[in-house]
Amino acid sequence: MPGKKKSASPKSNSSALTPITGTSLAPILESPRALAKLPGDGGSVAREHGVTLVTDRPYATSDMTIPAAEIYFVDGAKPRGTGPWLGEADKVAWRDPASGYECIMLRDRKEAYLSGYVGVPEGHPLWGWDQDAVAPDLGIEVHGGLTYSRICDEDGPSPQRGLVMESRRICHVPVTPKMWEPLRHGSEYRVESGGHVWWFGFDCNHLYDQVPIPDGRPRSFLAAETAAVYRDDAYVVREVTNLAAQLRAIADGKPVQPREGPPLPAIGLDPRKGG
């Protein structure tokens, strides 16, 4: 007697984007905290090899809600056990409404800390600059100082948009196809000026940051002496927004306005920055 046909698992692989309807997202994310970070309705979802992509849905931190174009949740990217990282996305890509610049929050795959990136278009005064060449008097103030400067990963858009690869790449977001499929031409990407942006970024793995390790315990070397804390998605998104505003002011030839949020840790606390 033939066995009963098994129903598809809610978390089965499906690389095609499908519209989110009703409560269809809940069994895919399997996390009320993650679901709470995606307010509103609409958008699409795809899943492939342990990576879930949600497109065109707002992403909410404790401080603000951003108009995310792509939100990735990666199985196993966050430490086991409890912690402030529970429910957080592992990559969020959006265009900052105030500056118009592409922005990314990205989780490190080995140590699970978050980093932030802002992409400037060709023609920006700092296009092509190394982060260490950016003079302090330009007014860039961001957590730990700039630690990253590079053109899009692998020198531009990938012709094969696998979710695992895209969840790790620092590159601008494409105009989302109706189905998750290879892009045919670089013009399908949102960024003009030849399809490239130059990224500036910072990371949150300094001595004054608590960095989760694979078993879920934060790295605590000198934690008490430096008041180290885990920098959550609210902190990182705010720093990305600040950096975007600073880079926009430089492009417009205007004074850089004071940054939003609490004072930054002193860079001199980290010997890697020469303090």
Confidence of residue 155 (pLDDT cuts 50, 70, 90): very low
Count the domains in the chain: 1
Other C-beta atoms closer than 10 Å to the C-beta of 58 total: 18
9 assigned to some structural domain: no
**Spatial contact of 245 and 139, defined as CB atoms under 8 Å apart:** no
1 assigned to some structural domain: no
**Residue 240 scores a pLDDT above 80:** yes
Confidence of residue 53 (pLDDT cuts 50, 70, 90): very high
Confidence of residue 44 (pLDDT cuts 50, 70, 90): very high
Helices (H), 30-87: 32-36
Q: Among 104, 20, 114, which residue's Cα sits nearest to residue 68? A: 104
Q: Is 100 helix (H, G, I), strand (E, B) or coil?
A: coil
5 assigned to some structural domain: no
The encoded tokens of residue 183 equal 């892009």
The secondary structure of residue 150, as a DSSP letter, is E
74 assigned to some structural domain: yes
Other C-beta atoms closer than 10 Å to the C-beta of 97 total: 10
Q: Among 273, 243, 236, which residue's Cα sits nearest to residue 138? A: 243
Domain span holding position 243: 14-273
- Which run of H or of E encompasses 28? helix 26-29
101-151 pLDDT, tens digit each: 999 999 999 999 999 999 999 999 999 999 999 999 999 999 999 999 999
**Spatial contact of 112 and 212, defined as CB atoms under 8 Å apart:** yes
**Spatial contact of 204 and 225, defined as CB atoms under 8 Å apart:** no
Rounded to whole angstroms, the Cα distance separating 67 from 59 reads 7
Backbone angles phi, psi at 153, to 5 degrees: -50, 140
Q: Is 72 helix (H, G, I), strand (E, B) or coil?
A: strand
Confidence of residue 58 (pLDDT cuts 50, 70, 90): very high
264 assigned to some structural domain: yes
Task: Return the CA Rg of the chain.
Answer: 19
Amino acid letter, 220: S
8 assigned to some structural domain: no
The encoded tokens of residue 143 equal 């957590």
